[in-house]
Structure 1
Amino acid sequence: MSGDAPFDLSPRRVALIYAAFGFLWVATSDSLVAGLPNHDLIQTVKGWLFVVLSALLVYVLVDRSQSELDRTSEQLESTLAHTSVLHRILRHDIRNACTAILGYAELVEPRDDADANTDPVEAIRERASRLVEVSDEVALLRTVELAEGNEVDVDLTSAVTDAVEDLEMEYPAVQVSVASPETLVARAHPALPRSIAELLDNAVVHSDCDDPEVHVGVWQLGEVVGVTVTDNGPGIPDAEREALLSGSETPLSHTSGVGLWLVRAIVDASGGSLDISTPKSHGTVVTVSLPRPA
């Protein structure tokens, strides 16, 4: 997304610009050619020149107006996609968590048939913590949408290093390998480090292996830089992959969490692209591509 300030190109402003141009042209050109020889020929040339310049002016104004319309349409599509995600979160994630909390709360009450293998207090704490996480992710999703166009320089190597340290601290069993240069800067949304951490966390949380493995690559290809995260998990279902890459959700195609949608929103706000693939029967490869600083 461009960081340029919007310019009002309403029909009234376009008409005023064209009227001002026509008035200045007539006032100045007539006085300039009044004393010249071949007056009739010059007037004819002047008329054709006015037509050409008028056409160029109209083209520039219409092109600028169309660019603003395209930008507004893109923002609207992004907002509608985010609204769909938030609606699904309220309908599914939060409702299920609250239902589970109510169920575990009943277990706290003295009952003869209570499940001895379940710690209801710990279960309630986990569900409540998840609600807090979802709330934070939703708030960040909205912040990302409002801050589009405010890109900064982000060191991908430092962002990956910090994310890996946090991941290994939270999941000691995970095996992480990193391939990256000493430093590599991208032009991106300020929340880009959060998206990298989200990708690493997603790779471990959804793994079906006792010893999950994650490989992170930081790379550069011409004027494009990026981060690739590869895991040995079960892979992202086709429906979720389709929803994430298309940027829209349907009742038959929706993602199971807000985390990857947050990644998608941050990458879009950075002017980058997101690619998800499952090259083998097991595992997922997620690639974030971003522009280099000018």
Structure 2
Amino acid sequence: MTPQTPRRPRLLIVDDNGDLVDNLREILEDAGYHVTGAASCAAALDVAGTEGFDVALVDLRLPDGDGTALAPQLKEASPDGEVVLLTGFATLESAMAAVRAGACAYLVKPCATQELLVTVEQAMRQVRLHAEKHELARRAQTAEKLAAIGTMTAGLSHEIRNPLNAAALQLTVLERRIHKLPAEGQQPALLEPLSLVRDEIRRLDHILEDFLQFARPREFVAHTVDVETVLKKVLDLVEGQAERRGVQVIRDFQPVPPVRGDEERLRQVVMNLALNAVEALPPGGFVRLTSVLEAPDGADVLIHVDDNGPGIPAELRERIFEPFFTTKAAGSGLGLSIVHAIVTQHGGTISAGESPEGGARFTLALPRAD
């Protein structure tokens, strides 16, 4: 399996001095950054609008404009990016101009390599803070929705279950009476629609179970759980359905320490993700389950569920854990919300992204037991 390579931070250097841009590019690319150069304001705005950037190093004097005027335009094109202004003269006026332009720092040309790298890393810290704030705000919003909808669904589910149970009971009585009719008469014609009704009642009952589990999750009691045991049990159940659909299931288990959690609920999480992947694939596709330690001394055990299907559009990845959001024609839209709630209860995280094979990847990060 080819590991997914993390995206390198993107730097944009806006300066019409080609030699300077080449020198800065060499230093910064050696430090692990992806560098794009632009020799004018127009070229810089074009790059910002199409590729985006994390940090832009912008010269104050450009052939078609001024760096202090360009900086706010770049921030508008890439709101989570940061701008560092480059100047040939360190004056109070240039520092004030950098502040007014919304720059997080400025460098005096030519600058020492260490000063350049430190300044860029400080700007990258601001970029990471922006991303963390967005993620915290998204999680808080999701938690509020889950709490509000959970209260509503608890009452609604019980109101629906009572008449549903009554209907199921009467259906059983009716079915018994039909079986007493002569087999060669109307019995077959009457039993066929009863079977369809029974299946629909069963489907509604499963949806109600999702509602109740979502609204009132059972008490969490943590034990030491062996990850490989969980994955093997899930795959033993999934492989039959995968085989019927012509989908291959691949096991890629690396030795990982045990995690702290509820084995049955963790099986439910992985089962939901694996079945979703199988159902999304055409014949000939594959699903891969991987377990890996995030780092040799890392605190998290990672479980990846990968497939080579159509994947999840980027604009939907943040919404798929919302309650009642679904791209399926049938279902409650609560499956992934319940998964998210269980993982959160375990002190872990779950994310959706792109698999190295081009399909979908769901990643569970669970704290190790020790």
Amino acid at match of 1:80: A
Q: Distance in 2 between matches of 1:169 and 1:203?
A: 14
Match of 2:312 among 233, 236, 239: 236
SS at match of 1:243: coil
Q: Is the 8 A contact 1:212 1:232 kept in 2?
A: yes
Distance in 1 of aligned mates of 2:358 and 2:141: 38
Q: Using a 3 Å threshold, how does the CA distance of structure 1 residues 136 and 120 change in structure 2: closer, same or farther?
A: same
Match of 1:196 among 257, 270, 291: 270
- Following the alignment from structure 2 to structure 1, what is the Cα–Cα distance between the partners of residues 311 and 345? 26
SS of equivalent to 1:194: helix
In structure 2, the partner of 1:131 is: 204
Q: Which residue does 1:170 correspond to in 2?
A: 241
What's the CA shift for 1:130? 2.5
Does the aligned pair in 1 maintain the 2:323–2:337 contact within 8 Å?
Answer: no
Structure holding more strand per residue:
2
Q: Which amino acid aligns with 2:214?
A: L
2:32 paired residue number:
none
Q: Distance in 1 between matches of 2:277 and 2:141?
A: 33
- The alpha-carbon distance between structure 1 residues 188 and 239, as it changes in their structure 2 partners (threshold 3 A), is farther
Whether 1:216 and 2:289 are equivalent positions in the alignment is yes
Runs of 5+ consecutive residues of structure 1 not aligned to the other structure: 1-71, 92-107, 111-118
Assess if the C-alpha contact under 8 Å between 2:256 and 2:292 holds in 1.
no
Do the aligned partners of residues 82 and 142 (structure 1) sit closer, same or farther apart at CA in structure 2, a change above 3 Å counting? closer
What does the per-residue CA deviation read over 1:78-136, in whole Å, with 9 as the maximum and x for residues that have no partner? 42254578889x99xxxxxxxxxxxxxxxx979xxxxxxxx766654543443233233
- 1:266 deviates by 0.7
Residue 272 to residue 133, structure 1, CA distance change in 2 (3 Å): same
**Contact in 2 for aligned 1:215/1:230 (Cα 8 Å):** yes
User: Residue type matched to 1:161 in 2?
Assistant: K
Aligned to 1:264: 340
Is the contact between residue 153 and residue 215 of structure 2 (CA under 8 Å) also seen in structure 1?
Answer: no
**Rounded Cα–Cα distance in structure 2 between residues aligned with 1:76 and 1:234:** 31
Residues 139-178 of structure 1 correspond to what in structure 2 (within 5 A)?
139-143=212-216, 145-147=217-219, 150-172=221-243, 173-178=246-251
Structure 1 residues 238 and 123, CA, compared in 2 at 3 Å: closer, same or farther? farther
C-alpha displacement of 1:75: 6.7
User: Are 1:218 and 1:228, in contact at CA under 8 Å, matched by a contact in 2?
Assistant: yes
* CA spacing shift, 1:259–1:240, aligned 2, 3 Å: farther
Question: Which structure ranks higher in relative contact order (CA pairs < 8 Å, sequence separation ≥ 6)?
Answer: 1
Q: Structure 1 residues 216, 73: closer, same or farther in 2, change over 3 A?
A: closer
Q: Which amino acid is the alignment partner of residue 198 of structure 1?
A: N
Displacement after TM superposition at 1:205 (Å): 1.9
Match of 1:179 among 216, 235, 252: 252
Where 1:242 maps in the other structure, the secondary structure is coil
Return closer, same or farther for 1:280/1:153 CA change in 2, 3 Å cut-off.
closer
Deviation at 1:214, TM superposition (A): 0.4
* Structure with more helix by fraction: 1
Scaled by the length of structure 2, the TM-score of the pair is 0.43
Residue 34 of structure 2 corresponds to none
- What is the aligned-residue identity percentage? 24
CA offset at residue 284 of structure 1? 0.7
- Report the secondary structure of 1:163's partner residue: helix
Structure 2: distance between partners of 1:181 and 1:142: 35
Cα offset, 1:229, TM superposition: 0.3
Residue matched to 1:285? 361
282-291 vs 79-88, which moves further: 79-88
CA positional deviation for 1:242: 2.0
Task: Answer yes or no: is the 8 Å Cα contact 1:239–1:255 preserved in 2.
Answer: no
Whether contact under 8 Å (2:307, 2:355) holds in the other structure is: no
2:148 match: 80
* Equivalent residues of 1:236, 1:284 under 8 A apart: yes
Deviation track 1:117-171 (CA, whole Å, cap 9, x = no partner) reads xx7666545434432332333333344x352x53322221111101101011233
Q: How much has 1:220 moved relative to structure 2?
A: 1.0
